[in-house]
Every structure is written in C-alpha cells, then in structure tokens.
Amino acid sequence: MRWQIPEGDIDVLSVGEALVDFISIEAVGKVEQANGFRRYLGGSVTNLAANVVRLGGRAAVAARVGDDPFGRFVRQEMEQQGVITDYLKTDAVARTTLAFITCSAATADFVIYRGSDARLLPEDVPQAAIELARVVHTSTFALSQESSRTAVLDTLRRARDRGCLISLDPNYHPSLWDASRPPAEVLAEACQYVDVVKPSRDDCQRLFGTDFSLSDCAQRFHDWGVRKVVLTQGPQGISIYDGGQLLRVKSRDVPVADATGAGDAFWAGFLVAILDGRALYEAVLFGREVAELKVGTVGPIAGIIDKGTIYQKITAARGEAST
C-alpha cells in the first residue's frame, strides 16, 4: 500500500520540541556519573527534521526556544543544517529546554529541564505552514504538557483536514507528563488523526505496562485509529502491523557508539522513503539503514547519508521481510 500524500514545498513539518542535548563525553550509566558533556541540537522532532534534510528533503520545525544563548544556538544549528526556521518562535518568558543524556549503546539515562518547548501555541503553527506540508510529524514529548498539547492536537486536526500524512512518535516518559490528563486519554485523542506510529519496546512498556504483549500494544494503537504501527524491538527486530497482515524485519548487529537519536533517524529514513513512493516494508528497511548509520556516531543526528547507496542496499535486502 502507498499513501496518497498531497504535494507541497515542505516534505516534513515537525511540530513540538526544539532543545539542546548535552551528551556525556564518556560512556556512563547515569547522568550524575558524567564528568563533562558536549552540546548538540536536540529534540526528537528537530532531530528528525535535520535527518530529512540530510536525505535531500525539505523540513521545517514549529517550536519555541528561549531568548537566551541556548535558543540562539538552536536556531543557528537548524539554519546551518538547512532546516527551515520560519516557524521557530522565540519565547520572551521561558528559557530554552535542556536535556542531559548519557552516551550509551543502550537506553540512555537522561535529565530534562523543561522550558520554552511546552509553551507552543496553536497560532505558532500557521495554516499556511500546514498548507505547504506533505507530512506533519510530532511526538508524545510535545503532548506531555500544556500549552504545547493543545497546539499539537489543533495542528493534527488541521493537518488531517488538509490530507497530510501524519506521523506520531509515542516517546512517552512518565517523568515528563503533567497530571492534568492521563496519557492514554491524550494519545487516544491524538491518534484519531494519525496514520503511522513507531513505538519502541520501551515505549510500549512505559505506556501499557509489562503485562501487555507487543501485539496488544499495536492493537491498542489500531483501536485508537492509527492505520500502521511500526514497532521497533532492538535486537529482536522490527514488526509492522497494519491491522491485518504482520511483517517482520530482522535487526542487524552493527557497532554502536551512541544510541541517542536512533529512533529519530529511523523515522526520517522511513518518511523520506514513503515520500519517494516506496512500499511500507521498503520504507522500514530504509529507516533501518539510516538508524544504523546514526548509531555509529555520537550525537542525536546521523552523519553523512548517501540516499542512492541506501536504496541500492534495500533492493538487495528486500527478501528479509517475513510474515
């Protein structure tokens, strides 16, 4: 199946969080064990946008940063990487959101200091931006607090009316969620507009508990209205659920320097392949290739990406998908 996606000058409009990642210089288990950190452009939806640009696409970010040195750093980094910053707002009240993360080959430890990202407003995402977008992408991080929650839900509704492909990263963390609404309630509201989600095994366990099977997790998203669920399971591979047929793609053993941003890299590759007219399983193979490139480098964004070479690789790997 191939999606019917409108034409537009922006391939992916990322809506949500733009922040600064401070990743530990050495590999440690806990943030408090780190002796030093290196600064990077960060935020799940922002990482995705930067990777889309590296794959030859056009991407924009709608988010808020503070009127401070870190906010200026975020804007400068986006501009240097070719991300459209027309919808990146400067908040006069809150400081730029910061994340401190361990450099790790596995699930990283992190501490986040929330600020301007949570103050996104519906008017920060103008209708003109949505009319230009082919894909609108957002995250559960952006749904975790008000007023960004209202802004994201409003954006998803308008994007659905426009006919955009809508993707959601369900990167839920209990420590980031405010108490005003239960996460399942918010996700159910958001998912009525969403075409595809990509939860990880960790995301599923945090959202639904360890008693939930992965197929139960996928079914919950289907019940909420999501058409396609791509579930990444680390060494156990990738499962693709469409409400009927199940496909599986194996993982591969590759050297890992830093796992930060691997999911965002996968998302970028997946969406670019979909926009290129590739089938769902081909897009998953493409996303896997981009994620493998990313984990070989420290920092949340992949290094040099040659899209043509990746397509050659996935042509050779087409037989890997199994039911």
Rg (CA), the chain: 18
- Residue-level pLDDT at 231: 94
Residue ranges of alpha helices (H) inside 164-278 are 183-191, 201-208, 214-224, 262-275
Tokens of 257: 């320097």
Q: Report whether 26 contacts 42 (CB < 8 A).
A: no
Cα separation, 189 vs 62, whole angstroms = 21
User: How far apart, in whole angstroms, are the C-alpha atoms of residue 83 and residue 3?
Assistant: 25
pLDDT, tens only, 6-57:
999 999 999 999 999 999 999 999 999 999 999 999 999 999 999 999 999 9
**For 250-306, how does the pLDDT look when each residue is reduced to its tens digit (9 = 90+)?**
888 888 888 888 889 999 999 999 999 999 999 999 999 999 999 888 888 888 888
Task: Give residue 322's pLDDT.
Answer: 58
The strand order across the sheet containing 238-241 reads: 88-91, 59-66, 10-15, 133-139, 165-169, 196-197, 228-232, 238-241, 246-249
Distance of CA 50 to the CA centre of its chain: 11
Q: Is the pLDDT of residue 97 over 60?
A: yes
> By C-alpha distance, which of 207, 287, 202, 208 is closest to 240?
287
Domain positions in the chain are 10-16+49-64+122-320
212-221 LR contacts (CB < 8 Å, sep 24+): 214/239, 215/241, 215/246, 221/170, 221/191, 221/197
* 323 pLDDT higher than 60: no
Which pLDDT value is given to residue 260? 83
pLDDT for res 321: 56
Question: What is the pTM assigned to this prediction?
Answer: 0.94
Mean pLDDT of 226-231: 95
pLDDT for 303 = 81
Cα separation, 167 vs 135, in Å, equals 7
CATH code at 10-16+49-64+122-320: 3.40.1190.20
pLDDT of residue 235: 79
Residue 247: C-alpha distances to residues 3, 190, 319 (Å): 18, 25, 12
Beta-bridged to residue 71, according to DSSP, are none
